[in-house]
């Protein structure tokens, strides 16, 4: 495969308010971060995203969703994978001011693959 077109599958646990904004984008991009959210955290496994959506987002918002999407590997190569409290909790830390570039690196649509209430 052409390295410039190689993608990495990522997941993102989201709350209902974020899902509405993603839907408004045609399932093509994540919304800008809020002032109190300096980092965007897409995760490397569906299991980790499920844990956050089910255990945290449902308690905070009444429901939680897991999204799956493809991102150009060439974009992600500029970032290190971060370990957040254990080897099973791997994520990228994308600065809020990079969201536009991150969204440009998404290939295809963002899919909702799990829902918890």
Give 59-99 pLDDT, tens digit per residue.
999 999 999 999 999 999 999 999 998 888 999 999 999 99
**In the predicted structure, residue 3 carries a pLDDT above the cut 80:** no
Q: Looking at residue 87, what is its pLDDT?
A: 84
In a domain, 97, yes or no: yes
C-beta of residue 38 within 8 angstroms of C-beta of residue 95: yes
What is the DSSP code string of 59-81? HHHS-EEEEEEEEEHHHHTTS-E
Number of structural domains the chain divides into = 1
Average pLDDT score, the chain: 95
CATH number of the domain within which 90 lies:
3.20.170
Give the model's pLDDT for residue 85.
83
Task: Please report the beta strands in the chain, taking only residues with DSSP state E, as ranges in sequence order.
Answer: 7-14, 39-40, 64-72, 81-83, 90-92, 94-95, 106-116
In a domain, 108, yes or no: yes
Residue 58 structural domain: 6-116
Residue 66 placed within a domain? yes
Q: Give the separation between CA 68 and CA 58, rounded to whole angstroms.
A: 18
Is the predicted pLDDT of residue 1 greater than 60, yes or no? no
Query: Rounded to an integer, what distance in angstroms lies between the CA atom of residue 31 and that of residue 8?
Result: 20
What confidence score (pLDDT) does residue 9 get? 98
pLDDT digits (tens, 9 = 90+) for 12-36: 999 999 999 999 999 999 999 999 9
DSSP state of 98: G
Quick check: is 1 in a domain? no
Helix (H, G, I), strand (E, B) or coil at 8: strand
């Amino acid at each position: 495969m052409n390295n410039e077109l190689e993608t990495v599958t990522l997941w993102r646990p989201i709350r209902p308010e974020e899902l509405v904004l993603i839907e408004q984008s045609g399932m093509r991009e994540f919304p800008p971060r809020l002032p109190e959210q300096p980092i965007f955290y897409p995760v490397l496994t569906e299991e980790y995203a499920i844990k956050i959506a089910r255990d945290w987002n449902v308690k905070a918002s009444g429901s939680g969703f897991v999204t799956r999407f493809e991102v150009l590997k060439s974009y992600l190569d500029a970032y290190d994978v971060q370990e957040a409290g254990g080897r099973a909790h791997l994520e990228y830390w994308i600065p809020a001011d990079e969201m536009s570039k991150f969204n440009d690196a998404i290939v295809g649509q963002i899919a909702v693959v799990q829902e918890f209430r």
